[in-house]
Every structure is written in structure tokens, then in C-alpha cells.
Amino acid sequence: GQQVMQIPQYQHVQEGEDFTTYCNSSTTLSNIQWYKQRPGGHPVFLIQLVKSGEVKKQKRLTFQFGEAKKNSSLHITATQTTDVGTYFCEGGSTLGRLYFGRGTQLTVWP
Amino acid sequence: EPEVTQTPSHQVTQMGQEVILRCVPISNHLYFYWYRQILGQKVEFLVSFYNNEISEKSEIFDDQFSVERPDGSNFTLKIRSTKLEDSAMYFCASTLVLPYNEQFFGPGTRLTVL
């Protein structure tokens, strides 16, 4: 069945370093959403990408949706300790189902 | 700011018992979802609900599960006969209009099956 694979599972960076997490789907997605989940918290919506090749920015965060709408990435420039958490992608299939990636757990050392 | 609420925050039950998890979505939202997250694992989609019927459900959402919107505000997830592996955090979410707009998540209900 359809899956959304997300790598890496864990990432430890020094404050100020960049961070990237990648999501890949086995099939074409209708859209992709990105969420951040703090330890003990619930997923909080960050952004939605719909168009092929779309790039969106939110301050230090850059989100990309691949041309084939099968992959996506989230890049954080110059990480801060407040960026700590798990970042999930969620792909929407053409049939309307939703698939979460496994998440990338980001740790930022001061 | 409007928010999704869920009750209870923690539910402990014996294996084989029925549980009902309750959610109050944001009042003008039309699409509702249930997800679960087993400790330390990824969030898993269970079901989406629109116009008083299920829109989509995952393989996890078998006959043990059911959802209902009994009135204009509550959205419930029922697990008929709980199993140990049902222990997880259950999140409710809602969106305003389209199914893939921003989903607002509730704080979750931690279900522990003994």
C-alpha cells in the first residue's frame, strides 16, 4: 500500500547549523502538509504544499514539493533551540487518505 | 483563539471493555479526523468524517472502531472491545472547509489498556 517514508529518523545539530528532513511517497500525492510536534504535545500545522515544484518559506523554514509530487523536504536554516521537536510530513493521496511520515526528531544543542 | 478539545485527557480501561473518546471540534469546521500515535511512533490516520458520514478510513479502522457526531458539537470515537495494542494517544483534528486545509489538532487522549 501507499506509504510516506521520512528520513532521517533522528537529527542532532549544534545551534546555528542547518537541518533538513525528507519525505518520499511511493505514489503521487495530491498535497503534503508539514507538522511540528513538541515532546508531549500534539502536531501543529506548519504549511501545506499543493502544486508541483512548489516552494514556500516561513522565516528560517523552507518547504519544497517535488516536481513529480512524490517527495518533499523541510529545511531549517541556522537552527535555534526553539526548533527542537519532531517534524512530520503528511501526504494526501488522490483517494483522499492521509499518510504521516515517521517523523524526524530534531535535537539542537546550544 | 478557537481550539479543538478532547476528553478525557487520560483513559485507563481493562482489555475487552468499550471506550468512547470525545472531541469537540472548532465550531465552524466541517471535516473531522481521528489519528492515533503509539508511544514513540508516528501519527497514524484512522478516519475522516464529513457531512455525517465517514469519508475515508485506514486499515487500522476496523469493525472495532466507530465514529459518531451525536449532536452539533461532539465527535466521538468508540472502540468496542479494547485490546492491549489499542494503547496509544488518540488525536482528534478538524479543518474548516476543504479536507486538506490546515488541520487543528486537539491535545489528545492517552488510552491505556490493561
Q: What is the pLDDT of residues A58-92, one digit of tens each?
A: 999 999 999 999 999 999 999 999 999 999 999 98
When mean pLDDT is compared across B13-17, B37-41, B75-79, the lowest value belongs to B37-41
pLDDT one-digit tens code per residue, A11-28: 999 999 999 999 999 889
Sequence-distant (≥ 6) Cβ neighbours of residue A49 within 8 angstroms: A31, A32, A33, A34, A56, A63, A64, A65, A72
Which tens digits make up the pLDDT trace of B4-35? 999 999 999 999 999 999 999 999 898 999 99
Q: What is the mean pLDDT of chain B?
A: 92
How confident is the model at residue A2, as a pLDDT? 60
pLDDT of residue B98: 67
Whole-number Cα distances in Å, A7 to A82, B52, B96: 21, 37, 30
Quickly state the pLDDT bin for A55 (edges 50, 70, 90): very high
pLDDT at B22: 97
Contact A32, A91 (CB under 8 A): yes
A49-54, long-range: CB within 8 Å, 24+ apart, which pairs?
A: A50/B100
Provide residues of B within 8 Å CB-CB of chain A.
Answer: 33, 35, 41-45, 48, 55-56, 58-59, 91, 99-108
Looking at the predicted structure, is the pLDDT value of residue B99 above 70? no
The answer to whether A73 contacts chain B (CB < 8 Å) is no
Task: Mention every residue, 6+ apart, whose C-beta is less than 8 A from residue A109.
Answer: A12, A13, A14, A15
- pLDDT exceeds cutoff 70 at A96: no
| CA distance, residue B7 to nearest chain A CA (Å) | 14
Quickly state the pLDDT bin for B89 (edges 50, 70, 90).
Answer: very high
A92 to chain B, any CB pair closer than 8 A? The answer is yes
pLDDT surpassing 90 at residue A7: yes
d(CA B17, nearest CA chain A) in Å:
26
pLDDT at A1: 58
pLDDT at B71: 86
